[in-house]
Structure 1
């Protein structure tokens, strides 16, 4: 660092990234010039305010940034990750402690790369070695073009005995072979249906012909896929997505819609099952959220130790809200509880629970929430379109409203306000509390009155006034 270089440190967990960054920041701050400190204070301010409601993670990141160090992982908000990346590229940040996600697809080189951890925990296999390809991706970040004559990559061994093992495994070892994932049924479901629905393939032979042009066919014989393709076609036919006329394959309206929505056909089947189970009254928020959390397209939260009882109690209290029967098989029930936990997290989001509490209660970060929110919005839109096709009228309005609520993380009463540019869940709630509940209320208020609302300020007040008066924005 004293020579003007920068360092990337890779560790295996988010917590480690934060701990190491915080520890190093106490020493790195001593190497900063006054000009750098002032610019870092501006970066830290943006990092801390990225969510509108700063969490402990936001404050810790901001404190590290002020000292010339940052941590980077998928739990951070996208805006925070970008601020860190830009500040590192600009040589403002001297050290970034990251999880391996930074190494994948991110052009962020440094003079020296330190790989502290070469193992990671897996739910299925426990502690496992990180693949050679990933370690080499990390090491490949060493050396900044135009700045460094060379780069250094350091892989840390925990003992003398590990040195030779790491040298053979990672330094001299060959990266793993890339293997196509197309041969699995989940991948094939989507592609086979798309082939038929688009008219590209009208027979089994056409589908197999399409497969011949894929990466999979370069690695394996296509005839090995024939049995899998036939099983997938049987599934699509049984579920009413594809029908046969002799040897000809045709997509049904249900199959065409599922393909157009670009969801896994199994997701379409599971959503149809739930939607057709709606009989009395409108479905609840939890019921609809659980419906999309059942699908293979939705990432599910891990059910931690000791959480089973909490969510079993929730299921017992609110079982009438679920659109599908609660499974009796113990293994299926455990998966069901994980789906419920995921749905409950999203319900907390739309009920405007403070992000800090969501982070603590569900073990997710701001980046995790936004990623899952994006997927949930897409699946709720898909469910709405399926409900319209299936003529499940009772689900249409709740799904349409819930899609918007999930997108912004608000209760229904704030949907009008959050349509304004620059107004998120926190600012919208503050406007509501101050008595500005409709766009007409904002139109009647002065800029000074709006600026006095917490988190609004003069610039935002001017912006939303221009929007509601139609000079920048045409209306909702």
Structure 2
């Protein structure tokens, strides 16, 4: 790797970027930054840059320098953050750019996108997942801004090796480069194979940097520590906690700080509570215990447990804390008020909070979708890299605490690091389908051309003993394409390939192929005259491939009968657990035994229900889509089947829906009839009642008139009549269906204003003709509307 030496170590920020000096929180660049800056600031805009450097060595400043270079040229910069929690932190940090007249806009799934703001933004901040979604939809007006990106900064590019997220980052970068060819600046903690990443991104040698441990601001001493493993997992947590305190205690007594990483948010709280008592029992002196002013500030904390803990110098930090609480914890830790901090791995990837001593108490974690899994090697290295406080410590001390059977594996990781691997092969069929659905790949040769833009292809060339060789890659791609053709996701004619409706929907909703096939099969039942019912919808979602790794503990299994009775007893325990959580969610009462995983499972299930609804609209019928929409709303809000239509009203969630239903108001028509006075009587304030009534009036309000339908008709006679549907609310897509004695006569879908449908009355060999009009709204959780007329057939 070659670098440039135009800048001396310690060069002033205003000498390099005079217009942006106020955007940096320091006045001079450090040694690592000074060596990499020429490639970033003075290099060719067409030259991509890859920098691998130890944690806490100052990579963020390189990202900001790349952004400044882009802004100076009048361009738009995209910053890809590894975690959603970090996108919000960047928004706060980069108010420095706002003060210079540049706009920063964070695009996440939890915020409503404002396309005009995104288009005007000078700096966009996104996660790889959101960037993936934006690039897939780049040709829509809503996401067209993504093609205006001039520079893309990838923070922690070693995320490529993440089991779930690596392939998403890989295909997103490849797609972005095809769409608008931005300059790529990829930053990473130390990785073995920086050359592979540089090769993939076409970064020239002069723009590729691998800074070793000598560039760490504080030398790191790392070790693997074992503990006495027992038969009780709960007791083992405390054995590891005491081991962590043994390691951290001397540093705390010496006035230093310790950061202990644990598996979950709840673990941070429990560990802090126990550690606080244990430090007192060990008589370890904590300097903040006598700080009256600090104790007074601590009273402002929102979290009660945190408030009690921090006054003894022990804190915890996780993404679920209120922002003000997190900000205070971070500030107090930086100031040395908190000497022992427990955190989840989120802190390792984001906020720069180094400590003299870092201990990883938990190397395994519980994933709601995967069960117990090993913490990724990337996370382990990232956490260990937080050891050592620049300017305060001569050395950092980092420890992995694990079972003896895992010790050698972690020792090898500490000694050798880990090469960054591609994870694309594990999801090749899903991502190839997405590229075909996007129109990027439209013939067989394009398939290999696309593959050659991926890190997977580069890594395979670099390590052929671990990956397929070129010929085998072609075979793999060929078999993957055949799988897509055989499954109906792709049509192939000679060398040309094009997506089917199934392939497009699968890509749109990020479904695995097996799940998409199950959804499609459920829709196909209607072609055989089999109705889709609630049980079938819930079972199909619970049995989705994405839920196959969900595990069910013994205490959880014991609750299944109470929730499900005998429903779907043939499902695997993990999938039956998903079903139980969905059923309980619909009822609004989730048993305590199922609550720990319920939120994550429900959020994923809601995505699958939205996808299944779209499948029903395309491959089944509006009434089936409406059923799925009502189930979706019940899972989300926990309301009864009779009152589910209330949540279609803007401003009505589960709480207000339950309040209204208790007063006998179970649908928007009831709300309109009640008026403001009735809603106030039901327990709403007058202002809320007025807003909800206004929203209810915008929903469909139907009246149905039959014209020309006789009371009786003679056998062998016939006449034509009609039925008119009027909607006094807003026009929404509606499926209209006329049947006679259960046999469909007319069906169509349209935006409903006023619609008239023909009705043929034919006297046949039956005694009675029952005509039924059904109206179902596929996009609204409103109960279907139906109306009947009966005609007697006289002999």
Q: State the TM-score, normalizing by the size of structure 1.
A: 0.70
Give the conservation status (yes or no) of the 8 Å contact 1:420–1:464: no
- The match for 2:306 is 64
- The match for 1:182 is 424
- Residue 193 (structure 1) shift: 1.5
- Residue 181 (structure 1) shift: 0.8
Match of 2:272 among 12, 16, 21: 21
Moved more, 432-441 or 375-384: 432-441
User: CA separation in 2, counterparts of 1:414 and 1:390?
Assistant: 25
Give the conservation status (yes or no) of the 8 Å contact 1:113–1:152: no
- The match for 2:485 is 237
- Name the CA shift for 1:2/1:119 in 2 (closer, same or farther; >3 Å): closer
Give the conservation status (yes or no) of the 8 Å contact 2:557–2:577: no
Provide Cα deviations, 1:363-400, integer angstroms capped at 9, x if missing partner: x43xx434333322221111111112212455221111
Provide Cα deviations, 1:199-240, integer angstroms capped at 9, x if missing partner: 222222210111101111111044432222122212111121
- The match for 2:752 is none
- Name the CA shift for 1:121/1:262 in 2 (closer, same or farther; >3 Å): closer
- The match for 1:458 is none
- Residue 168 (structure 1) shift: 5.4
Give the conservation status (yes or no) of the 8 Å contact 1:182–1:188: yes
- The match for 1:464 is 688
Give the conservation status (yes or no) of the 8 Å contact 2:268–2:316: yes
What does residue range 167-246 of structure 1 map to in structure 2 within 5 Å? 169=412, 173-184=415-426, 187-221=427-461, 222-246=470-494
- Name the CA shift for 1:80/1:141 in 2 (closer, same or farther; >3 Å): same
Match of 1:416 among 646, 663, 668: 646
User: CA separation in 2, counterparts of 1:419 and 1:151?
Assistant: 61
- Name the CA shift for 1:224/1:19 in 2 (closer, same or farther; >3 Å): same
Report the 3-state secondary structure (helix = DSSP H, G, I; strand = E; otherwise coil) of the residue aligned with 1:301.
Answer: coil
Moved more, 297-306 or 255-264: 297-306
- Residue 305 (structure 1) shift: 3.9
What does residue range 60-459 of structure 1 map to in structure 2 within 5 Å? 62-68=304-310, 71=316, 79-80=320-321, 82=323, 84-91=325-332, 94=338, 95-103=340-348, 105-107=349-351, 109-117=353-361, 119-120=363-364, 132-142=377-387, 149-150=392-393, 153-156=396-399, 169=412, 173-184=415-426, 187-221=427-461, 222-277=470-525, 279-284=529-534, 286-298=535-547, 301-305=550-554, 317-319=566-568, 326=570, 336-353=572-589, 357=591, 360-362=592-594, 364-365=595-596, 368-412=597-641, 413=643, 415-416=645-646, 419-421=649-651, 424-426=653-655, 428-430=657-659, 432-433=661-662, 439-440=671-672, 443-444=676-677, 450=683
For the aligned residue pairs, the C-alpha RMSD in angstroms reads 4.4
- Residue 428 (structure 1) shift: 4.3
- Name the CA shift for 1:469/1:131 in 2 (closer, same or farther; >3 Å): closer
- Residue 256 (structure 1) shift: 2.6
- Residue 260 (structure 1) shift: 2.9
- Residue 414 (structure 1) shift: 5.1
- Name the CA shift for 1:264/1:121 in 2 (closer, same or farther; >3 Å): closer
Provide Cα deviations, 1:108-127, integer angstroms capped at 9, x if missing partner: 5144453142643789xx99
User: CA separation in 2, counterparts of 1:414 and 1:361?
Assistant: 26
User: CA separation in 2, counterparts of 1:206 and 1:242?
Assistant: 14
- Residue 170 (structure 1) shift: 6.0
- The match for 1:39 is 300
- The match for 2:54 is none
- Residue 84 (structure 1) shift: 4.8
- The match for 1:457 is none
User: CA separation in 1, counterparts of 2:550 and 2:474?
Assistant: 35
- Name the CA shift for 1:428/1:106 in 2 (closer, same or farther; >3 Å): farther
Aligned residues: 412
Give the conservation status (yes or no) of the 8 Å contact 2:542–2:579: yes
- Name the CA shift for 1:202/1:448 in 2 (closer, same or farther; >3 Å): closer
Relative to its length, the structure with more helix (as a share) is: 1
- The match for 1:329 is none
Q: Where in structure 2 are there 5+ consecutive unaligned residues?
A: 1-251, 281-285, 462-469, 700-795
Q: Where in structure 1 are there 5+ consecutive unaligned residues?
A: 45-61, 327-332, 452-460
User: CA separation in 1, counterparts of 2:582 and 2:424?
Assistant: 31
- Name the CA shift for 1:223/1:158 in 2 (closer, same or farther; >3 Å): closer
Give the conservation status (yes or no) of the 8 Å contact 2:524–2:620: no
Larger RCO (CA within 8 A; separation ≥ 6)? 1
Relative to its length, the structure with more strand (as a share) is: 2
- Residue 152 (structure 1) shift: 6.9
User: CA separation in 1, counterparts of 2:507 and 2:408?
Assistant: 48
User: CA separation in 2, counterparts of 1:108 and 1:439?
Assistant: 52
Provide Cα deviations, 1:377-434, integer angstroms capped at 9, x if missing partner: 221111111112212455221111122223334334155258554x643454345446
User: CA separation in 2, counterparts of 1:419 and 1:71?
Assistant: 40
Larger radius of gyration: 2
Report the 3-state secondary structure (helix = DSSP H, G, I; strand = E; otherwise coil) of the residue aligned with 1:244.
Answer: strand
User: CA separation in 2, counterparts of 1:132 and 1:96?
Assistant: 22
Moved more, 404-413 or 79-88: 79-88
User: CA separation in 2, counterparts of 1:16 and 1:138?
Assistant: 16
- Residue 273 (structure 1) shift: 2.0
- Name the CA shift for 1:247/1:7 in 2 (closer, same or farther; >3 Å): same
Give the conservation status (yes or no) of the 8 Å contact 2:263–2:366: no
- Name the CA shift for 1:84/1:287 in 2 (closer, same or farther; >3 Å): farther
Report the 3-state secondary structure (helix = DSSP H, G, I; strand = E; otherwise coil) of the residue aligned with 1:97.
Answer: strand
Q: Does 1:11 align with 2:266?
A: no
- Residue 342 (structure 1) shift: 0.7
Give the conservation status (yes or no) of the 8 Å contact 2:258–2:341: yes
